[in-house]
């Protein structure tokens, strides 16, 4: 069997999305049979041969010129490019940095980065065409595996959800954290697909999967204000995983 050539790279991120795939231990043997990881630093130390790729999977936001160059190179070599996780889709929590991000980075990673070679973290679609987005912080394992299977067959998956987390909460007959417990849950405006993982154990939805289709943002902001959140807190909470798209009415 000819294995499908892929790359999985990490830009500015925590590696959690790559670990999500590597933690799929029962499925990894089959993945290894179907795919040849030409570049995947967390999995293999083999050098990239520079040849064509069926797909490149990208975790993390772009925050340095060399990361953009890597994106451009891999985009030219690949049929498909898949953005995986909130950082790749919107900049993620990396966008929470303040105006002194270069100073902070230089203090922690002395000699690695400075204000001169850093810019505000950006979603990767600002630099390259993206064929598929898999949301989450981290994404759901089955969504990554399903995407790989579709790519191996030469197509894109059609399983990504557009409904809100609230629908999945109701299906699981969960107590509503927002209306009944008066907690700042973002389930009404957040894209489903996680099976209401956090609300089901009493933890409010933080919105890590981005906005659902046609989110009721005005009503969500109103409910958060009623809970006592300030305008700034509402903006920051609703914009944490939406790339700063957090303006409220």
Q: Give per-residue pLDDT as tens, 115-172.
A: 567 888 999 999 999 999 999 999 999 999 999 999 999 998 876 678 999 999 999 9
Work out whether strand 35-39 and strand 4-10 pair parallel, antiparallel, or are unpaired.
parallel
Share of the chain above pLDDT 90, in %: 75
112 plus 173 within the same structural domain: no
Share of the chain above pLDDT 70, in %: 89
- Domain stop point among 113, 130, 152: 152
Quote the distance between the C-alpha of residue 33 and its chain's center.
26
Q: What is the pLDDT of residue 95?
A: 79
Q: What is the pLDDT of residue 200?
A: 96
Domain assignment present for 244: no
Does residue 79 register a pLDDT over 90?
yes
131 plus 24 within the same structural domain: yes
Length of the chain, in residues: 249
Taking the C-alpha atoms of residue 207 and residue 190, their distance in angstroms, rounded to an integer, is: 5
The total of other beta-carbon atoms located within 10 Å of residue 19's CB is: 13
Domain assignment present for 137: yes
pLDDT digit string (tens) for 180-205?
999 999 999 999 999 999 999 999 99
Tell me, what CATH number does 106's domain have? 3.40.50.700
- Domain stop point among 129, 152, 175: 152
Domain count within the chain: 2
The total of other beta-carbon atoms located within 10 Å of residue 142's CB is: 12
54 plus 85 within the same structural domain: yes
Q: How far lies 242's CA from each of 75, 117, 193, in Å?
A: 24, 25, 17
* Tokens representing residue 115 in the block: 């204000």
Domain assignment present for 246: no
- Domain stop point among 88, 122, 152: 152
Domain assignment present for 174: yes
Domain assignment present for 248: no
147 plus 219 within the same structural domain: no
pTM over 0.85: yes
Q: Which domain holds residue 57?
A: 4-152
92 plus 214 within the same structural domain: no
Q: What is the pLDDT of residue 118?
A: 81
Stretch 15-41: mean pLDDT: 94
Does residue 72 register a pLDDT over 90?
yes
The total of other beta-carbon atoms located within 10 Å of residue 162's CB is: 11
93 plus 207 within the same structural domain: no
Domain assignment present for 226: yes
């Amino acid at each position: 069997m000819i294995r499908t050539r892929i790359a999985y790279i990490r830009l500015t991120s925590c590696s959690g999305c790559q670990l999500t795939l590597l933690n799929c231990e029962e499925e990894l043997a089959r993945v290894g049979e179907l795919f040849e990881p030409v570049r995947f630093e967390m999995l293999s130390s083999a050098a990239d041969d520079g040849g064509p790729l069926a797909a490149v999977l990208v975790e993390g936001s772009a925050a340095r010129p060399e990361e953009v160059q890597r994106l451009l190179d891999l985009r030219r070599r690949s049929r498909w490019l898949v953005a995986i996780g909130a950082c790749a889709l919107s900049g993620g929590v990396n966008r929470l940095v303040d105006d002194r991000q270069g100073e902070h980075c230089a203090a922690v990673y002395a000699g690695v980065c400075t204000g001169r070679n850093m810019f505000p973290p950006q979603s990767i679609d600002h630099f390259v065409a993206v064929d598929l987005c898999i949301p989450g912080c981290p994404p759901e394992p089955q969504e990554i595996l399903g995407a790989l299977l579709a790519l191996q067959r030469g197509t894109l998956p059609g399983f990504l959800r557009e409904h809100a987390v609230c629908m999945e909460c109701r299906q699981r007959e969960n107590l509503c954290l927002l209306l009944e417990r008066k907690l700042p849950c973002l389930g009404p405006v957040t894209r489903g697909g996680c099976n209401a993982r956090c609300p089901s154990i009493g933890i409010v939805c933080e919105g890590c999967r981005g906005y659902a289709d046609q989110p009721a943002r005005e009503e969500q902001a109103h409910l958060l204000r009623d809970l006592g959140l300030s305008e700034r807190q509402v903006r920051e909470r609703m914009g944490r995983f939406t790339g700063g798209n957090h303006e409220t009415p």
